[in-house]
Structure formats: C-alpha cells, structure tokens
Amino acid sequence: MTDEQKITELLKRFSPLDGLKRDNLLALARKVQIRELSPGQLLFKEGDTEKRTFYVVTGTLELTDQDKAVGTVEGGTQLARNPVAPVYPRRVSAKAKDRVQFISIDSDLLDVMLTWDQTGTYEVSELQGTQDESNDDWMTMLLQAKAFHKIPPANIQAIFMRMQQINYKSGDVILKQGAEGDYFYVLTRGKALVTRETPLSKDGIKLAELQVGDTFGEEALISDAKRNATVTMLADGAVMRLGKDDFKTLLNEPMLDWVSRDKAEQIVAGGGQWLDVRLPSEFENQHLDNALNIPLYFIRLKINTLDKSRNYVVCCDTGRRSSAGAYILSERGYNAYVLQGGINADSG
C-alpha cells in the first residue's frame, strides 16, 4: 500500500471526511501530511485565527482555557473522530501531553472539497461520460486554487452544473485571436498551445503550453475585448466551458478585490508592488513610480517571475485590462488587487 493510500484509509476514520467520495478523498490525501508534536508542545493558542482543521491520530492533546484544563482529546477515541476545537478564533489552547501525531488540513480547502463533493461531481461526471483518471484532476486543481475559496458554495454548484464538455482533435483551434470572447475554458484532457500573432510573426509567438487543469479565455470576457491569442490543441482532448454571463457573475465578481487609489498606495507602501499590464509603449509614455510592466498578453508567460509572498496592485488606464490580469494572478495563488478606475482616474 502506498503512502497516499495509507493516508486515504486514515482519513476515513474522521468526520466529515468519511463522507467524501473515493476520488475526492484521494485528492485530499495528496494535500495532507501526518505531523508530530513533542510532549509540552503547543498545537495552537487560544485566540489563534489561522484556518487549519486538526485531527489527532495518536497521543493525547490537553485543552486549556486561560491555563485551566478543560478537556483532552486522545487519538483513536470517538471524540478524536471530530476536528479539534474548530471554532475561530480558538477558544482554547491545545498542548501535547505526550508524543502526538496529528493531521492538519487547510480549512478553506476542506470546505470547498466538501461543497464540491456534495454538489458538483454527479453532474460533471455525467457530462464527461468516461472514467479516465485525469477527469478529476482538473476539478481538483480548480478547487484547490486559493482564489477559488473566495467563491460562495452556491456559485460552485452552479458553475459545475452549467459547464459544457467539448471534445477536440489534435490541431483543432479552440479560440482564435481577434474573435469575440464568449466562453471561459478549463482544459480537462490533452494539451494545448497558446500563440499570439504579431506583425513580425504571422505564425504566432508561443506564449504558453496548457496542461490538464489550466484555464484560459478569461481575459476577453473580463475586459470585453477581442481574443488576444489563439489556442490550438496539441493532442486529442477536451475542455469544459462556461458561458460569458455565467463566468462574470459566478466566477469573476467574487474573485476580484478592487481597491481605491489611497488603499492601493498603502499596499505598495507596505511592501506591495504596482503591476502595470498595459503595452510597453503606453507604459513608457506614463506610469506610476516604481511600477513593474508586464503586458496582459504576457502575464501567463512571465507569472513565475513574480513573488507569491508579495501583494500586487494591478493597474492599467481604466481598470478593464487590470481586472483581467488580477483574475489570472488570483487564480494562480498570487495576492492581487485591482486599482479602481485605473491610473487615469482622479486620485484626489
């Protein structure tokens, strides 16, 4: 039995994990590790607000309220089937009485997985029509994205119920540069190439290669612009797509954090970074002090050069292109804000 399978079996001992479907439990097991505490070591303090869900596997945790013992949680008991003190901020402190093995799970991820398990799998698996193991990978990747945690559970249900599956052959063009934006896409099978035609390259320069779980098509939907790139299948495969109106109301609006000029300047002053997504010629003509310029169509190609521990305030002239850029960053786990009204707005 592999470590992944062992953890999957272990997770079945806990509530509400024991209610998850097999594939979703396996996906969760990939994100979980068994950790240890030495005697006397704290798991968390009273007042802590970090959103982690803890389960005791072996050993005993002592729970205290203002240094007064109020209970224990011993691994293997009925009480240990449930999360330890799951209310935030924590109302008690938890300290190891002996050597304790425990499981720690991101609470937001768990909440999304539980919601997905109870709302989305049935409808989407019906649409897919096959039992290919990769089918669940794209769903898991989408749900594990930090930005997806901002989306209300009701929206998650609606998103997966309204998605449509489309099959493609190698060489098929999914979307064409210059066309109107109509759908948001998730690649669920195969590979695809993103290219952008320029005056110097009619065949197109390569911007990115998409794998299962990657998303595309959002820029044109958010900014109400034409497609800025062409996406072509490199192998036989499939996508799930969501219509423009559904994308805007169910996915885009909950995911974006808009900030005023004053708030944006506070973020930058606190160690954040202006990220200007306009064309280099626009940037050279006028830009904010110390701003970094990555044109919107290069965001996917350059995203790995950015720092996930830093806050980015994405800006353009009006806010339209920057909202598309911020969406892409947020979806991939970066801390992104959108400058309300853009740099041309009156900051007074």
| The pLDDT value given to residue 147 | 62
Give 146's pLDDT tier (boundaries 50, 70, 90): low
Taking the CA atoms of residue 246, residue 251, residue 252 and residue 258 in that order, the dihedral angle to the nearest 10 degrees is 140
Tens of pLDDT, residue by residue over 277-317, are 998 989 998 899 999 999 988 888 888 999 999 999 999 98
Distance of CA 345 to the CA centre of its chain: 30
As a whole number of angstroms, the distance between CA 267 and CA 273 comes to: 8
Look at residues 321, 252, 312 and name the one whose alpha carbon lies nearest to residue 283.
321
Look at residues 162, 206, 184, 179 and name the one whose alpha carbon lies nearest to residue 297.
206
Q: Where are the alpha helices (DSSP H) in 120-172?
A: 121-128, 135-144, 153-162
As annotated, the residues of the chain forming the CATH 3.40.250.10 domain(s) are 256-339
Residue 139 DSSP class: H
Query: What 3-state class would DSSP assign to 45?
Result: coil
Query: What 3-state class would DSSP assign to 120?
Result: coil
For residue 213, what are its two tokens?
């779980």
Q: Are 112 and 156 in contact (CB under 8 A)?
A: yes
As a whole number of angstroms, the distance between CA 4 and CA 8 comes to: 6
As a whole number of angstroms, the distance between CA 283 and CA 277 comes to: 9
As a whole number of angstroms, the distance between CA 295 and CA 287 comes to: 13
Rounded mean pLDDT of the chain?
85
Confidence check: pLDDT of 131 > 60: no
Highest-confidence segment of 52-56, 121-125, 141-145: 52-56
Least confident of 84-98, 144-158, 200-214, 332-346: 144-158
**Full strand arrangement of the beta sheet holding 273-276:** 258-259, 335-339, 311-315, 273-276, 292-293
Q: How many Cβ atoms sit within 10 Å of the Cβ of residue 283?
A: 18
Whether residue 16 is preceded by a cis peptide bond, meaning omega within 30 degrees of 0, is yes
Strand boundaries in 201-324, DSSP class E: 201-210, 215-216, 230-233, 237-243, 258-259, 273-276, 292-293, 311-315
| The pLDDT value given to residue 78 | 92
Which top CATH class is 120-252? Answer: mainly beta
- Residue 315 catalytic? no
Confidence check: pLDDT of 219 > 60: yes
Catalytic residue among 207, 239, 314, 316: 316
Tens of pLDDT, residue by residue over 16-38, are 888 888 877 887 888 788 899 99
Look at residues 218, 222, 216, 184 and name the one whose alpha carbon lies nearest to residue 338.
222
Report pTM: 0.58
- Residue 117 or residue 76, greater confidence: 76
For residue 35, what are its two tokens?
């950790």
| The pLDDT value given to residue 134 | 47
Q: Which residues of 187-219 are buried (b: 16+ CB within 10 A; e: fewer)?
A: bbbbbbbbbbbeeeeeebeebbebebbbbbbbb
As annotated, the residues of the chain forming the CATH 2.60.120.10 domain(s) are 3-106, 120-252
Q: Is 64 exposed, middle or buried (0-12, 13-18, 19+ CB in 10 A)?
A: middle
CATH superfamily entry for domain 3-106? Jelly Rolls (2.60.120.10)
| The pLDDT value given to residue 171 | 95
Confidence check: pLDDT of 221 > 80: yes
Q: Considering the chain, what percentage of its residues have pLDDT values greater than 90?
A: 43
Give 132's pLDDT tier (boundaries 50, 70, 90): very low
Q: DSSP per residue over 200-237, as a string?
A: TEEEEEEEEEE-TT-EE-HHHHHHT-B--SEEEESSSE
Strands 335-339 and 311-315, by their bridges, are parallel
The yes or no reply on domain 256-339 and CATH 1.10.760.10 is no
Tens of pLDDT, residue by residue over 72-114, are 999 999 999 999 998 889 999 999 999 999 999 888 777 767 7
| The pLDDT value given to residue 125 | 38
DSSP H or E stretch at residue 69: strand 68-74
Taking the CA atoms of residue 276, residue 278, residue 283 and residue 288 in that order, the dihedral angle to the nearest 10 degrees is -30
